């Protein structure tokens, strides 16, 4: 399983769904649909998304060595 970090590519808003999809081996679109459907249920899904956006580290970029 991949480490939980927000990827630099494939982001739509914060990269949380893309990070979770990469971690659990699904597509980012599937994870986004699951999140949107879960927002129809009562609960703090939006707050959880914001918390993950703040707490998950961004993926380290590969920079050219000089």
User: Is residue 35's pLDDT more than 90?
Assistant: yes
Three-class HEC string of 6-51: ECCCCCCCCCHHHHHHHHHCCCHHHHHHHHHHHCCCCCCHHHHHHH
Separation of alpha carbons 47 and 43, rounded Å:
9
Name the pTM for this structure. 0.78
- Residue-wise pLDDT for 53-64, tens only, equals 999 888 887 665
- Residue-wise pLDDT for 4-27, tens only, equals 888 888 788 889 999 999 999 999
State residue 10's pLDDT score: 79
User: Is residue 37's pLDDT more than 90?
Assistant: yes
Separation of alpha carbons 5 and 27, rounded Å:
15
Q: How many CB atoms lie within 10 A of CB 12?
A: 11
């Amino acid at each position: 399983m991949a480490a939980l970090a927000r990827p630099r590519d494939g982001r739509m808003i914060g990269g949380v769904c893309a990070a979770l999809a990469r971690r659990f081996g699904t597509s980012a679109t599937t994870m986004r649909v699951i999140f949107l459907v879960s927002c129809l249920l009562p609960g703090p899904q939006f707050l959880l998304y914001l918390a993950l956006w703040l707490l998950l580290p961004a993926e380290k970029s590969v920079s050219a060595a000089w």
